[in-house]
Chain A
Amino acid sequence: MKRAFIAEWTRLARPRTWLIAIPFTILYSAVLTVVMIVTAPQRSFSGGVSIDALSQSGGGTLAVTAAVAFTSVLLLAVFVGMSAGAFSRGTWRASLLHHPGRMSLATGTFVARIAISAVIIVVLFVAGLATAYIVGPGQGVDTTNWLDAQSLRTAGEDMLRVLVFVTGWGLIGTLVGIATRSVPIGLGAAILWAGPIENVLGDNLQFGRDFFPGLLLRYVVTSDNAAVTGGALTLRLAAYGVVAAGACALLLSRRDVSS
Chain B
Amino acid sequence: MDTTQQFDAVAVIGLTKRYGRRTVVDHVDLHIPAGSVTGLIGPNGAGKTTVMSMLLGLVRPTDGRGTVLEHDLREPKAYMSQVGALIEAPAFYPNLPGRENLVHLCRLGGHDPSEIDGILDLVGLLGREGDSYGSYSLGMKQRLGIGAALLGDPRLVILDEPTNGVDPAGMRDIRAMVRRIADSGRTVLVSSHLLAELEHVCDHLIVLDQGGLRYQGTLAGLPATRDEVILLRGRMAADEERLVQLLRTGGHVVEHTATGLAVSVGDLDPATLAGDLNRTAADGGVNLVELHHRTESLEDRVLGLVGTGSRS
A interface vs B, CB < 8 Å? 3-4, 6-7, 10-11, 16, 89-91, 93-101, 105, 256-259
B interface vs A, CB < 8 Å? 49-50, 53, 56-60, 76-77, 80, 83-85, 87-93, 95-96, 104-105, 107-111, 148-149, 151-152
Nearest chain B residue, comparing its CB with the CB of A6: B107
Would you give the shortest CB distance from B188 to chain A, in whole angstroms? 16
Would you give the shortest CB distance from B307 to chain A, in whole angstroms? 25
Report the separation of the CA atoms of residues A99 and B110 in the bound assembly, to the nearest whole angstrom: 9
Nearest chain A residue, comparing its CB with the CB of B54: A256
B57→A94 contact, CB < 8 A: no
Count of CB-CB pairs between chains A and B under 8 Å: 77
Closest 9 CB pairs of A and B: A90-B91, A98-B109, A7-B107, A257-B58, A100-B80, A94-B91, A256-B59, A99-B108, A7-B108
A91→B91 contact, CB < 8 A: yes
Would you give the shortest CB distance from B100 to chain A, in whole angstroms? 8
Report the separation of the CA atoms of residues A256 and B50 in the bound assembly, to the nearest whole angstrom: 10
B87→A97 contact, CB < 8 A: yes
Can you list 17 residue pairs at the A/B interface with Cβ under 8 Å? A4-B108, A11-B93, A90-B90, A94-B91, A96-B58, A97-B84, A97-B149, A98-B111, A98-B151, A100-B76, A100-B77, A100-B80, A256-B53, A257-B58, A258-B58, A258-B59, A259-B89
B50→A3 contact, CB < 8 A: no
Chain B residues near A95 (CB-CB < 8 A) = 105, 108
Report the separation of the CA atoms of residues A259 and B160 in the bound assembly, to the nearest whole angstrom: 14
Chain A residues near B88 (CB-CB < 8 A) = 90, 93, 258-259
Given contacts A11-B96, A91-B93, A94-B148, whether A258 and B53 have CB atoms under 8 Å apart is yes
B92→A94 contact, CB < 8 A: yes
Would you give the shortest CB distance from B18 to chain A, in whole angstroms? 12
Given contacts A4-B108, A11-B104, whether A96 and B92 have CB atoms under 8 Å apart is no
Given contacts A97-B80, A256-B53, whether A91 and B107 have CB atoms under 8 Å apart is no
Nearest chain A residue, comparing its CB with the CB of B19: A256
List 13 additional A-B contacts (Cβ < 8 Å) besides A7-B108, A99-B109: A4-B108, A6-B107, A91-B91, A93-B58, A93-B88, A94-B91, A97-B56, A97-B149, A98-B108, A98-B152, A100-B77, A257-B59, A259-B89
B104→A7 contact, CB < 8 A: yes
Report the separation of the CA atoms of residues A91 and B88 in the bound assembly, to the nearest whole angstrom: 12
Given contacts A91-B92, A93-B88, whether A10 and B107 have CB atoms under 8 Å apart is yes
Would you give the shortest CB distance from A30 to chain B, in whole angstroms? 28
Nearest chain B residue, comparing its CB with the CB of A91: B91
Nearest chain A residue, comparing its CB with the CB of B85: A97
Residue among B53, B77, B108, B151 with the highest chain A CB neighbour number at 10 A: B108
Chain A residues near B89 (CB-CB < 8 A) = 90, 259
Nearest chain A residue, comparing its CB with the CB of B105: A98
Chain A residues near B59 (CB-CB < 8 A) = 256-258
